[in-house]
Chains A and B, each alone.
Chain A
């Protein structure tokens, strides 16, 4: 069948297929109508003629004619696109002029840091939990094993509310939470282990403003409680976080520290991101940057949440996204993060 020669009518048309790619815009459309026009097109007409041919011829020539029609359609389409592209490339406009834009906004740099942290922990099975910013002394201090009237309280200069205590709650004197840790208590009281949550939120201290202090700043807390959790899990998970958040080769170190609600307690430092451990003014020459506090959940905390501390163990951490944002973006003064200056915010358009 392949060696069946084209009927002469088709052979002539086949010749014109070859020429399509050289036609200009006006000729192209004329040629299209002449060949493929719905009423007078030559190919169209030939296809119509097929109806009157004998079956055998109809089968062979029909296939040939249809193939030619498809080839022609393709050739015209390709040539049309080519001509359009040529027209677009024509230097009718001064293309160096600025384009038209729309306003773009941005998330707060701290939100961005917070989201990034949450995302890393979500991947390893943590969910997000939140809690109120007005708390009672019990949730903020006592349940977290802060000894009453102890200097440990001095680390949390507290803003108290001028309001009567909450009747329905133990030690109900009201305050603005000084850390996100009360949400640990709320979480453990409301749901049995296994618990794996991260807790982002704002916290408040009676601190005057300066370049690195603000009465309001963010914290993100993490808590994992289950059977068989040990200090190894704490170290491994936070190391994983540091390598995901900073870089795969970031060095960390854990050193003993003190928090009333964890024991053993630790502080995690990461290699200074500016000098990479050599020592610079940003890391006070130590080569390390303090990133987060952490530790094994104190058995007294578990007990206050009615959890059997002999069976379940846990670890927790807390860090300050405001501070981390300052480190990461090289922001010299925390006030910039709280002032809403458009000239500052516009730098953080993604």
Chain B
């Protein structure tokens, strides 16, 4: 909401400091986003009195003026404006001054010039050249008593401040200057009243109120066919108005809030909207077919060209305004061109209605057309304020366009009601706020916002009739907030008091995530956070109804594809060493009628050098499969208690007790530049169950014995199979640990064989093992390997030939 400082000042009849206003509004809950000084660029201009106008000797269209700028000498100014008249005052830009909008719209410095042989010292300016409007048909005539030479800004109140107020959806009353003035009045503790309208004769106009859905005013028959969509409708007819340009004061008000001046009648409706927050509409009575106006639901297929010259298709849910021939406006959103007020209009119908907010909201969404009017109706205007707004609007139209009121304005109100009454318990306010305020202070606050208060101390409560312009006040707690607001949030104490610790423990999933995160950071990975939206990834991807873009139409099922895209982006930046991970949610379609399956997962990718390059020559090797496996195993142990990494086809996986894959690690395909190292990645589902504490195992008190075992493995036999046999058979043989020392393939081995060397560690917990015991164990392990897998020691000579 744009607020004009001058407009506000008119409510208080004194000047206001824009910074102070802005501070106060902010602390009352309507932060001011910007304070924009208006027309400060007019500082060079003065009031010029044209004393004489002569024809230009060498040009038919130009005149030579003698301008009094307050100095002793008269200035010679060549002027092309048709309206320049001797004895009138105009904005005068002397030589050396800058005019804000010269030719082409750019600021222009005025220089002494010769125009067709006549010297010109300065310039008389049009409204457009000063940034005061679009008018460029002539120079701007000033209505001022100020002496020639007076600074323009001192003579005419062009200078203003526009305060851009951030009004929350709960405070429609602040969308009008009166509402803002009311807040300031509560803050300044000084009264305010409506500004006087220049030329107005008084606004004590009686209204014809009808508890009915139809009525007549000034020969126009008005019907409400949809009282749900239109609970209240005000209308007035003014005959014999002269539609034309608005007076300067009205133009300035509207221009200060950023609204273009159109005509006196239209400006009057806009003025009322920005002052009283009641959007109004003006119709040319002559264009209303059959002299009727009907508020009804739109019909299928109805079309209408709205004031913005766009043809709109209406749908049955919308509320339309029609005349005897069809739709002429979208209620509360925008009128149509067919009944628009034009300079030829003589008889004007003014409309000021209360529209059902939800219906306006639906309509403007369906039409994708938000206007100043719909914005206000949607938030809820003052249902009881329409009469005053109508009177004000009539007053301005009569003052600026003349004409006369045709009959008493009509107020159709099929179901009259009163503003709501709320009961407030001051004790409840004290409970919520922690501060006990005297009853009279509470009353004072509520009265300041326009409420009527009846205290009933014997009941321990107050009866509060809230004002109609505050549709946000519907229950007791709403009043508690008002009390806090007017007491001032800054006045509440801020002492930490005793508290009870909550009854809930920490979410264990967050602990699990933190452990995994720490583990990966220690391994040199960087955490990233990516959007969960992307292209479809399989049939079970969850589709979004209203995605940001077609390529982001689905929710991710896995984290890895997103990480691969990040690696590619890093490669594009010539970054070769990339180690990333993400902890985030994934989504997958569930059964119809159920929530999608949502999981917290962790995924990591790695490519490039295994360690930073060093001058000594270390750090040249790239990450390989075994780095992947090591990191996968380490992360799996943190993510899923008791996770067992298994080999499946060409990758490593972890399965849960139901056999579902909950972890996977593999080399990854990517759009890699030729210099890129191989890319690896893994992904794990985070198990949210609480982690059990690590149990202590006694430290060994006896020495261990180690044996090296180089085995010949035929093609198709894996180290894992060997290890499984060793583990099973070795249990009772005091085999404590099995490590792989090497995997050799090459010369010196029988064809089709490779040699895998294991180191076995034996230990008895209660005594020092003797060599002979270990020998026996080794022999038995070899025998088991031979009988189960047909494996022999590498140094056992040639493999046995049948036995």
Contacts and interface: CB of A to CB of B under 8 A. Distances in A.
A256 B487 CA distance: 11
B361 A164 contact: no
Contact of A105 (B495, B499, B529, B579): B579
Contact of A162 (B29, B520, B545): B545
Contact of A231 (B432, B496, B593): B432
Contacts of A151: 169, 361, 378-379
Q: Which of B503, B520, B552, B587 has the most CB of A within 10 A?
A: B503
Given A202-B584, A343-B573, A128 B510 contact: yes
Contacts of B362: 149
Nearest to A253: B490
Interface in B500-532: 500-507, 509-510, 514, 517, 520-532
Nearest to B574: A343
B489, B522, B545, B584 pick with most chain A CB within 10 angstroms: B489
Contacts of B594: 166-168
B684 interface: no
B548 A105 contact: no
B599 to A, nearest CB: 10
Nearest to A216: B531
Contacts of B34: 284
B592 interface: yes
Contact of B569 (A106, A110, A256, A341): A341
For A124, A206, A236, the residue with the greatest tally of chain B CB atoms inside 10 Å of its CB is A236
Interface in A121-164: 124-130, 132-134, 148-152, 154-155, 159-164
The A interface is mostly helix, strand or loop, or mixed, namely mixed
Interface in A216-260: 216, 218, 224, 226, 230-233, 235-237, 239-240, 253-258
Contact of B596 (A107, A134, A263): A134
Chain B CB within 10 Å, residue with most, of A126, A154, A160, A161: A161
Interface string B412-436: 0000000000000000000111110
A266 B492 CA distance: 13
B615 A263 contact: no
A330 interface: no
A191 B615 contact: no
Nearest to B518: A107
A65 to B, nearest CB: 35
Contacts of B26: 255
B319 to A, nearest CB: 14
Contact of A236 (B495, B577, B581): B495
Interface stretch (A22-30, A43-51, A193-201, A270-278): A193-201
A313 B481 contact: no
A220 B419 CA distance: 39
Contact of B566 (A107, A167, A196, A339): A339
Interface stretch (A31-39, A69-77, A78-86, A93-101): A93-101
Q: How large is the interface on B (under 10, 10 to 19, 20 to 34, 35 or more residues)?
A: 35 or more
A149 B379 CA distance: 10
Given A341-B570, A343-B575, A195 B499 contact: no
Given A100-B616, A208-B548, A296 B527 contact: no
A127 B504 contact: yes
B526 A255 contact: no
B580 interface: yes
Contact of A233 (B170, B434, B596): B434
B616 A161 contact: no
A100 B475 CA distance: 69
B802 interface: no
B598 A256 contact: no
B477 A263 contact: yes
Contacts of A216: 529, 531-533
Interface of A: 97-98, 100-108, 110-111, 115, 124-130, 132-134, 148-152, 154-155, 159-168, 174, 176, 187, 191-197, 200, 202, 204, 206, 208, 214-216, 218, 224, 226, 230-233, 235-237, 239-240, 253-258, 263-267, 284, 296, 298-299, 313, 337-343, 345-346
26 contacts: A97-B615, A98-B615, A111-B527, A124-B496, A125-B501, A127-B502, A128-B506, A128-B510, A130-B509, A159-B544, A159-B548, A160-B546, A161-B542, A167-B593, A176-B555, A192-B503, A194-B503, A206-B546, A224-B499, A231-B432, A255-B28, A263-B477, A299-B475, A342-B573, A343-B573, A343-B575
Given A162-B543, A339-B569, A340-B530, 4 more contacts: A130-B509, A150-B361, A253-B489, A340-B570
Closest 6 interchain pairs by CB? A230-B434, A103-B524, A256-B29, A196-B502, A340-B566, A232-B434
